[in-house]
A and B are shown apart, each in its own frame.
Chain A
Amino acid sequence: MKPRGLSLIEMLIAAAITGVLLIVVTNGIQSASSSTRMIQTQQLLTEDLRTSGNLISDELSQAYHIYPPGAEITLNSTSTYTVTNFDGSNVWTVGTDPIIAAILPPEDLTRADLCATDNSGCLRLVAYYPLLRSTVTASTSGTPEFIGNDPQNTNVWTVFRYMTYLSSGKFSDASSSLKVAAPSFSGSRGELLADYIQPTSGFTVDWSGAGGSKCLVVTTDANGVKSTNPRATCPTTGNLESVTEMVFQLRGQMTRGTAVLVPGAGPLVFRGTPRNLGSASD
């Protein structure tokens, strides 16, 4: 056989085949590394959701009072983006808006009489509610709180936690100015708790599902003995009762090309079950 080299056609075909192969291989490597990153991100997001849910659950389990559906909670003022509802107001209606609001005991119960001079002796109001991520980025641009623009994920939610110290250290079950249908809280601000929450269904609060919420009536008899009677359904207006059991769900969403829900199989289900109801000092 006589070595005659390669013809131009052969060379061109070989070059074309090599080119196609190179493209396929680079794409493969790129998508492999991006899917590895995506998997790590999903794990981090799952862990974030779980930590946030556990924090909310932990705080609700100490609560003296969880506001029932129908309560209209006013947080700070509309000038603070961290408390602004989707309609632009700073009023959140429990049951209609996805918000959980509760009165927590003082951080230090032994200082409950010293609330006027020491915040650690004061009752606390906490609230958890969603905010649009795009609102957060637009409002914090250029500040140290800026969480970074993410053009693919402008529609996702974040969850915020609002906490403010109240002016008293004692909570009264029988008649508390806090157990009203439209309480208003001033000062303080919301802080970011969780990012990349699926819009609409990523943070839901269920006050009535099967085995879901119940309201508690605390009564004191003539001898000063307190008794607690759970009620199967929470009245929706003008009541003073705390919720005894409620369910909330968390699920994340992140888009990198395609939208991925975290966890894939369904949302994380948590419960708010206050154990201090009826044990508050009168």
Chain B
Amino acid sequence: MNNKGFSLLEVLIATAVVGAGIVLLGIFYNSFKVTRQAQIDTQAQTFARSYFDATRARWNSPASFKAATAVVTDVAAPSGYTYTVAPKTPLAGTDTLRELNLNISTPDGRTLSFSSSVVLPAE
């Protein structure tokens, strides 16, 4: 038995094997991360729709549309999510169209922006 350590070839092979393992792990971790992110996106998109649906429901008659002085804020977001809404211009009783910008903070620390317009309902 010789006792002179590893040959260059042995070291190269070992490195290649370890490297391949790390690359594979990275791919799996990445696909898990992307899946989780996609699910969070879907949840946020669903909530955005839900929020705008709620706003339209509250403002579904000319009277309730004109009477609204502030955006709707009591729509419960899914747990882990928070949101803020800002109208493009301050709400006024004379509005015929209101553009709302909705920012949703996701559990993984991203902020997603959505916007939609609500028109004054017909008499």
Q: Report which A residues bind B (CB closer than 8 A).
A: 1, 32, 35-36, 39, 42-43, 46-47, 50, 53-54, 57, 61, 209-211, 228, 230, 244-245, 247, 262-271, 273-275, 277-278
Contact = CB atoms under 8 A, between A and B. Distances in A.
A275 B60 contact: yes
A47 B76 CA distance: 23
B74 A270 contact: no
A61 B46 contact: no
Nearest to A216: B60
Contact of B79 (A262, A266, A274, A277): A266
A35 B24 CA distance: 13
Contacts of A47: 42
Contacts of A42: 35, 39
Q: What secondary structure prevails in chain A residues at the interface with B? A: mixed
Contacts, number: 90
Contacts of B61: 228, 278
B35 A43 contact: yes
A270 B42 contact: no
Interface of B: 1-2, 24, 28, 31-32, 35-36, 38-40, 42-43, 45-47, 49-50, 53-54, 56-58, 60-61, 64, 72, 74-76, 78-80, 107
A30 to B, nearest CB: 13
A267 B32 contact: no
A1 B2 contact: yes
A265 B40 contact: yes
Given A57-B49, A269-B50, 18 more contacts: A32-B24, A36-B31, A46-B42, A211-B74, A247-B76, A262-B39, A263-B39, A263-B40, A265-B36, A265-B78, A265-B107, A266-B80, A269-B43, A269-B47, A269-B78, A271-B53, A271-B54, A273-B60
B108 to A, nearest CB: 9
A124 B78 CA distance: 32
